[in-house]
Structure formats: structure tokens, C-alpha cells
Chain A
Amino acid sequence: GAVVSQHPSRVICKSGTSVKIECRSLDFQATTMFWYRQFPKQSLMLMATSNEGSKATYEQGVEKDKFLINHASLTLSTLTVTSAHPEDSSFYICSAFATENYGYTFGSGTRLTVV
């Protein structure tokens, strides 16, 4: 079946630094990927939609200059949290849409802790 690899699985960074999270579709092409954020005991909240070769579209309230998204190929989307602060600590999850079977596959998530 479709597999989405997300890396790193967990990262700790200092306040003010930037962190990049990668999301790869391993056995299918994904023209569209999604990025979610999940706080403890809460549901997934959509942050942005990443389209290959074009700018990402962000949900209301999500700062596009803080959460930089790049979708340079059909199998890779990256999310960079710039100038991270403790309130950015969360669980970030990507999802890829497979045009072959119209399915959505999720990555394993990245636990970001900003200290």
C-alpha cells in the first residue's frame, strides 16, 4: 500500500532556531500534500495545503512566513518552522493524496519540542 515517510520523528531545538520536517511519498506520486498540527489530547488541525510546483495555501491563522512549505517534487514536501518558540512545540503530521487510488496516507508525525 501507499507509504508516507516523515522525518525526523522527534526533534528538540532551541528557541529562535529553525527546524525542517520532511514528508516523502515512497511508492506513489503526490501532487498534493497536507500539513497538520496536533496538540496534546486534541484533534488534528489543518495548517496548509502543499501543491507541487506552486505556493502552499495556508489556513486562517497560520503564519505563512513562520511555517515555510516547499513542494519541489512529486514525492517530497518540507515544512520549515522558522524562529521557533516554545508555543510551536507540537506534533506535526503530513498527509499525501495519491491520485492513483484517491487515497490519503498520513506520515508517522514529528514531535517538535522547542526549549
Chain B
Amino acid sequence: LAKTTQPISMDSYEGQEVNITCSHNNIATNDYITWYQQFPSQGPRFIIQGYKTKVTNEVASLFIPADRKSSTLSLPRVSLSDTAVYYCLVVPNTGTASKLTFGTGTRLQVTL
């Protein structure tokens, strides 16, 4: 499975846009990039998933360059409630379950 690398922590003020970049140099052709959010004492929650270019949903955008060796999660106008750990995962799209490897994640702290 492709290993991911992302910053350990980030700080932001409320109302700012936050961009978290993840590198996955060994991503395979059939791998998708998926981001999860985790609050303390809770399980990870799916945020967004993409294969290439740009994906946007109601909570975030995901930017993936043509070589797919990295991706950037963009959180528009963060609030205090966005304080959490964000994990970038490379997920094989094989139609069967695969073991998911969690990296360090990025601990985002949002303050006033």
C-alpha cells in the first residue's frame, strides 16, 4: 500500500481557508485518495475522495495534480469545530476490501 506523508500539525484562525497537503509518491493506477476527519474519542469520519483533478463537496475540496503523487485537502472558512486530526489515505479500488494504512495524520488546531 502507498505510504502517505502529511504535516504533523497545523494552526489556523477561525474563518481562514486551510490547505493540508499529502504526498503519496507510490500511488498505484487504481488507487483513490481519501481523507478522513477524526475528533477525540471518535472514529474517523469520511470527508472526501478523489482520483484526479478536483473534487468538491459541501464540506471540502480535494485537489489532485496530474501525476497524482500528492493531494491537497482544502477546508474553506474553518471554524472552531473543525479542530481535529485529518488523515490522508490511499485506498485501492479493487472491488474487494483492502487493509488501510493510516499515517500520522495532521492535527489541525483552529483558534479565534
Q: Within 8 Å CB of B93, what residues of A?
A: 102
Q: Verify if B91 is at the interface (C-beta below 8 Å from A).
A: yes
Question: Smallest distance from the beta carbon of A92 to chain B beta carbons, Å?
Answer: 10
| Chain B interface, >50% SS class | loop
Complexed CA–CA distance, A8 and B57 (Å): 32
Complexed CA–CA distance, A104 and B103 (Å): 16
Residues of chain A touching chain B, judged by Cβ–Cβ distance below 8 Å, are: 4, 6, 31-32, 34, 36, 43-46, 49, 91, 93-95, 97, 99, 102-109, 111
Name the one of B45, B46, B105 contacting A43, with C-beta atoms under 8 angstroms.
B105
Q: Which of B18-26, B59-67, B75-83, B94-102 contacts A (4 or more CB under 8 A)?
A: B94-102
Contact code string B21-56 (vs A, CB < 8 Å = 1, else 0)? 000000000000010100001111110000000000
12 contacts between A and B (CB under 8 A): A4-B43, A6-B43, A32-B97, A36-B102, A43-B102, A43-B105, A44-B87, A91-B41, A95-B100, A99-B95, A109-B41, A111-B41
